[in-house]
């Protein structure tokens, strides 16, 4: 007799449906209920985690609303409490011809050293150039700069970068919490009799 063998079940990725606007509002209400009316020091770690989970959603909504408000105001539609104002001026040369710009600046009494200041490029820019050099030259280049870790950045738990252990902050925290030294009080004598009575 033949035995019927069923094909093995293959795991399939769950299909995530896009979140509708109404569902988004419901998610935010559920997370923010009882959170926004309390100081940050009183919010639990679990509440902070759930709040940060929906932060991209909130930021996306704010970005869309800002763009919508700007577009409405550009078409003379009023947005209560908001208006369009001029941005920062952007100045540029009238021509892309550097020789003409240099000639014009020299006519203003500027020297060549003022027009073309001598600036050493940054390490990342020089590193891009040094990639085409020999290993010996790159080793010598590596001795000219130092590399320091950047400031800690908040990231989701699934981020590929390694987590920073809390021990790195213990010394700084303990130093910050230490009370400031107070001047020592002078020792009091047991004899409280004024000098003029002795």
Determine the 3-state secondary structure of 10 from DSSP: coil
Q: Is residue 29 part of a domain?
A: yes
> What integer is the mean pLDDT of 96-104?
94
Closest by Cα among 144, 161, 160 to 152: 161
Q: Is residue 46 part of a domain?
A: yes
pTM, two decimals, is 0.53
Retrieve residue 165's tokens: 């252990």
> What integer is the mean pLDDT of 98-126?
92
Q: Is residue 179 part of a domain?
A: no
Q: Is residue 63 part of a domain?
A: yes
- Integer Cα distance of 56 and 24 in angstroms: 11
Which of the four pLDDT bands, split at 50, 70 and 90, describes residue 38?
A: confident
Q: Is residue 178 part of a domain?
A: no
Supply the DSSP symbol for 13: P
Which is more confidently placed, 141 or 51?
141
Above 80 in pLDDT, residue 147?
yes
Above 60 in pLDDT, residue 185?
no
- The kind and range of the H/E element at 71 are helix 55-74
Q: What angle do CA 194, 197, 198 make, to 5 degrees?
A: 90
Q: Is residue 158 part of a domain?
A: no
Q: Is residue 51 part of a domain?
A: yes
Q: Is residue 164 part of a domain?
A: no
Domain of 53, in residue numbers: 21-74
- Residue pLDDT, tens place only, 149-166: 888 888 888 899 888 876
The number of folded domains in the chain is 1
Per-residue confidence (pLDDT) for residue 174, from 0 to 100: 52
């Amino acid at each position: 007799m033949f035995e019927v063998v069923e094909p093995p079940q293959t795991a399939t990725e769950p299909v995530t449906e896009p979140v509708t606007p109404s569902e988004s509002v419901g998610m935010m209400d559920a997370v923010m209920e009882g959170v926004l009316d309390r100081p940050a020091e009183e919010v639990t770690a679990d509440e902070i985690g759930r709040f940060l989970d929906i932060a991209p959603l909130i930021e996306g909504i704010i970005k869309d609303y800002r763009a919508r408000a700007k577009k409405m105001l550009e078409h003379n539609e009023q947005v209560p409490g908001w208006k369009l104002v001029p941005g920062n001026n952007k100045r540029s040369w009238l021509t892309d011809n550097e020789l003409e710009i240099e000639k014009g600046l020299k006519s203003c009494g500027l020297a060549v050293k003022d027009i073309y200041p001598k600036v050493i490029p940054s390490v990342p820019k020089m590193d891009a150039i040094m990639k085409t050099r020999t290993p010996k030259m790159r080793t010598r280049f590596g001795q000219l700069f130092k590399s320091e870790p950047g400031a800690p950045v908040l990231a989701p738990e699934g981020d590929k970068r390694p987590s920073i252990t809390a021990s790195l902050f213990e010394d700084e925290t303990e130093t910050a919490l230490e009370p400031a030294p107070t001047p020592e009080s002078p020792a009091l004598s047991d004899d409280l009799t004024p000098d003029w009575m002795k």
